[in-house]
């Protein structure tokens, strides 16, 4: 099965898409990642009718990758603490679709949609040059089928989505439909693909520069018979958000294990990226990373220990992880998984008097991601020249700067900078290891004044070399 990312608040489970191996289901929780794209500084208010503007990815913060952050309704109260300069797209999670194409107006997502906190979030994102988008979501086959198999329901949802974008002055939509293969709905994949193309076409017809993205399982590109047909969807959307998490139960059912391994096992980020690159251009691929982990009651404190029968995984936000690592747990040990390239911890939870409040009378094991492990995932993004990365979800790191620093360390070009540039034998400009890399270098050996030029990675400026070997900077 193809692991699916969380979609409900902590401790709520969710299923995984099924691959031919038919692995066990994973947890469903409401944690997702979405990323903001820059746009003009237009205030988003409930009555705003402005449409998407031309995106300028991270124009004001020197990001050279997309950073897509999901803003769940239950985290909006934290919005003032988010570093919008390290985001390029903010996606509100979200509006729940009914099977007739209407929105659910009685759930918490609708309340959040009409809240001042969301208005503040959108305003702050736009002021930073980020893109704001809305997530439309459905998590059951019956609901999804009701929408995508009916031409009337399809158009109703498309109309409602376009109206929502216009109402809030947003820059696009993110589709979070999480279905699975089922003999009860044999046309679900084809109908969903058709619906996605129809929605994308009509949104782009209204706003040519809008962003239409779809959330997909980490294993979805490994085959074409699942809920998502990546090859068929690729021409229809601007981006895929790979839910690169919730892999533990698919990789090691019945055992504690890494949530989002970089390598190893059946499901991991490196394999997922390679599979997606075989079916979609790198410019459309966003690697989603988790701002949460899982903890289990286990039968020992050894790596990948068996889970205590009858117990289950508990989702743990990064801020919760920091609490667990500092609460004075008994016999606590911390380790680094060299295969997953991520940290883990174990401790004893007594039946009574647990300093961390659990009182489980068992060993506990926690697998999670921190700044070091996320940095390695961001290296994977850069090495494959992907569109970018994103997190599920904003606010789950609490007040810690750790995870923001990981983004800044991998996706930001800092100005001003120092470094050394040299001219090669052919007149090309080369940078040393400590300098900002240059790309697109061209030679003009016969020109009397200009001999070479090169652009900075984020295209914010560059250098021209004159006929005498001097370097002249332009832009920032």
Burial 388-409 (b: 16+ CB within 10 A, else e): bbbbbbbbbbbeeeebbebbbe
Cα 158 to Cα 212: distance, rounded to the nearest angstrom = 12
CA–CA distance from 118 to each of 136, 213, 265 (Å)?
15, 20, 39
- Is omega for the bond preceding 181 within 30 degrees of 0, making it cis? no
The model's pTM is 0.80
pLDDT at 394 over 80: yes
Tens digit of pLDDT for each residue in 256-269? 999 999 999 999 99
Residue percentage of the chain with pLDDT more than 70? 75
Give the mean pLDDT of 13-25. 30
SS3 462: strand
Q: What is the DSSP string of 281-337?
A: -GGGEEEEEESEEEEEEESSSSTTPBBPTT---EEEEHHHHHHHTTS--EEEEEEEE
* β partners of residue 216: 242
- DSSP code of residue 150: -
Q: What domains are defined for the chain?
A: 1-412 (3.20.20.80), 421-475 (no CATH)
Residue 62: pLDDT band with limits 50, 70, 90? confident
**What gap in Å lies between CA 61 and CA 446, rounded to an integer?**
38
* Torsion on CA atoms 377, 382, 387, 389, rounded to nearest 10: 20
Task: Write down the pLDDT at residue 462.
Answer: 72
Q: How many CB atoms lie within 10 A of CB 433?
A: 7
Q: Which two tokens stand for residue 424?
A: 């090669």
Question: Who's near 195: CB < 8 A, 6+ residues apart?
Answer: 147, 148, 154
Cβ atoms of residues 402 and 385 within 8 Å: no
- pLDDT value at 26 more than 50: no
What does the alpha-carbon distance between residue 280 and residue 233 come to, in Å, rounded to a whole number?
A: 9
Q: Which is more confident, 379 or 14?
A: 379
What whole-number distance in Å separates Cα of residue 338 and Cα of residue 358? Answer: 29
The mean predicted confidence, pLDDT, of the chain is: 85
CA distances from 142 to 100, 147, 198, 354 (A): 11, 9, 20, 44
Cα 209 vs. chain centroid, distance in angstroms?
21
Partners of 456 in the β-ladder: 438
Tracing tokens 């370097």 back to the chain, one arrives at 471
Lowest mean pLDDT among 209-218, 422-431, 439-448: 439-448
CA dist 140 and 153 (Å) reads 16
- Helical H segments across 40-183, by residue range: 108-113, 116-127, 141-148, 151-168
Question: Radius of gyration over alpha carbons of the chain, in Å?
Answer: 23
pLDDT at position 17, please? 32
The pLDDT value given to residue 432: 62
Answer whether 385's CB lies under 8 Å from 417's CB. Answer: no
Average pLDDT over residues 248-261: 98
Q: Which of 29 and 113 is assigned the larger pLDDT?
A: 113
Round to whole Å and give the CA distance between 293 and 250: 15
Measured between alpha carbons, how far is residue 182 from residues 18, 73, 143, 208, 227 in Å?
9, 31, 13, 35, 9
pLDDT band at 413 (very low <50, low <70, confident <90, very high): confident
pLDDT (tens digit, 9 = 90+) per residue, 165-219?
A: 999 999 999 999 999 999 999 999 999 999 999 999 999 999 999 999 999 999 9
| 415 band by pLDDT with thresholds 50, 70 and 90 | low
Going by their DSSP bridges, the two strands 285-290 and 388-392 should be labelled as parallel
- Please, which pLDDT band fits residue 424 given cuts at 50, 70 and 90? low
212 strand-pairing partners: 173
The least confident of 195-209, 375-389, 429-443 is 429-443
Residue 349, beta-bridge partner list: 362
Provide long-range contacts, Cβ within 8 A and 24+ apart, for 163-167: 164/95, 164/103, 164/113, 164/134, 165/51, 165/52, 165/134, 165/203, 165/206, 165/207, 165/210, 166/49, 166/51, 166/206, 167/46, 167/47, 167/48, 167/49
First-to-last C-alpha distance (Å) of the chain: 47
Provide the pLDDT for residue 195: 99
Whole-angstrom Cα distance, residue 184 to residue 144?
12
Q: What value does the mean pLDDT take over residues 8-20?
A: 32
What's the CA gap between 217 and 224, in Å, rounded?
12
Report whether pLDDT(441) > 60.
no
Two tokens at 305? Answer: 């220990």
């Amino acid at each position: 099965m193809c692991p699916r990312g969380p979609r409900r608040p902590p401790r709520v489970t969710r299923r995984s898409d099924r691959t031919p191996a038919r692995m066990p289901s994973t947890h469903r929780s409401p944690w997702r990642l979405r990323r903001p794209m820059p746009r003009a500084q237009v205030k988003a208010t409930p009555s705003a009718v402005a449409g998407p503007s031309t995106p300028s990815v991270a124009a004001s913060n020197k990001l050279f990758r997309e950073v897509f952050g999901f803003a769940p309704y239950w985290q909006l109260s934290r919005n003032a603490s988010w570093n919008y300069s390290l985001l390029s797209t903010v996606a509100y999670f979200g509006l729940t679709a009914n099977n007739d194409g209407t929105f659910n107006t009685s759930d918490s997502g609708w309340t959040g949609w009409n809240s001042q906190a969301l208005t503040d979030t959108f305003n702050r994102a736009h002021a930073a040059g980020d893109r704001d988008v809305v997530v439309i979501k459905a998590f059951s086959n019956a609901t999804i089928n009701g929408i995508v198999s009916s031409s009337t329901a399809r158009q109703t949802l498309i109309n409602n989505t376009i109206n929502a974008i216009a109402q809030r002055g947003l820059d696009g939509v993110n589709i979070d439909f999480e279905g699975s293969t089922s003999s009860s709905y044999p046309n679900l994949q084809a109908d969903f693909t058709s619906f996605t193309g129809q929605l994308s076409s009509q949104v782009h017809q209204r706003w040519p520069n809008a962003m239409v993205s779809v959330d997909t399982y980490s294993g979805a590109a490994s085959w074409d018979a699942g809920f998502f047909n990546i090859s068929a969807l690729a021409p229809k959307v601007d981006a895929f958000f790979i839910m690169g998490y919730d892999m533990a139960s698919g990789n090691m059912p019945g055992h504690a294990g890494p949530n989002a391994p970089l390598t190893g096992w059946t499901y991991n980020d490196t394999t997922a990226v390679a599979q997606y690159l075989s079916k979609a251009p790198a410019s459309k691929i966003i690697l989603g990373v988790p701002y949460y982990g899982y903890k289990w009651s286990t039968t020992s404190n050894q790596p990948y220990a068996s889970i205590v029968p009858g117990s289950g995984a508990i989702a743990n936000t990064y801020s919760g992880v920091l609490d667990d690592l500092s609460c004075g747990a008994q016999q606590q040990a911390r380790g680094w998984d060299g295969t997953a390239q991520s940290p883990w911890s174990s401790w004893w939870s007594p039946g009574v008097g647990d300093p961390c409040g659990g009182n489980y009378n068992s060993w506990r094991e926690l697998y999670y991601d921190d700044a070091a492990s996320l940095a390695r995932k961001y290296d994977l993004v850069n090495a494959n020249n992907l569109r970018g990365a994103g997190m599920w979800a904003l606010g789950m790191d609490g007040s810690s700067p750790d995870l923001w620093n990981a983004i800044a360390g991998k996706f930001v070009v800092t100005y001003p900078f120092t470094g050394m540039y040299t001219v090669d034998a052919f007149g090309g400009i080369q940078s040393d290891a400590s300098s900002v890399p240059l790309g697109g270098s061209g030679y003009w050996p016969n020109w009397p004044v200009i001999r070479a030029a090169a652009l900075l990675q984020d295209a914010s400026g560059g250098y021209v070399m004159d006929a005498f070997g001097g370097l002249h900077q332009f832009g920032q």
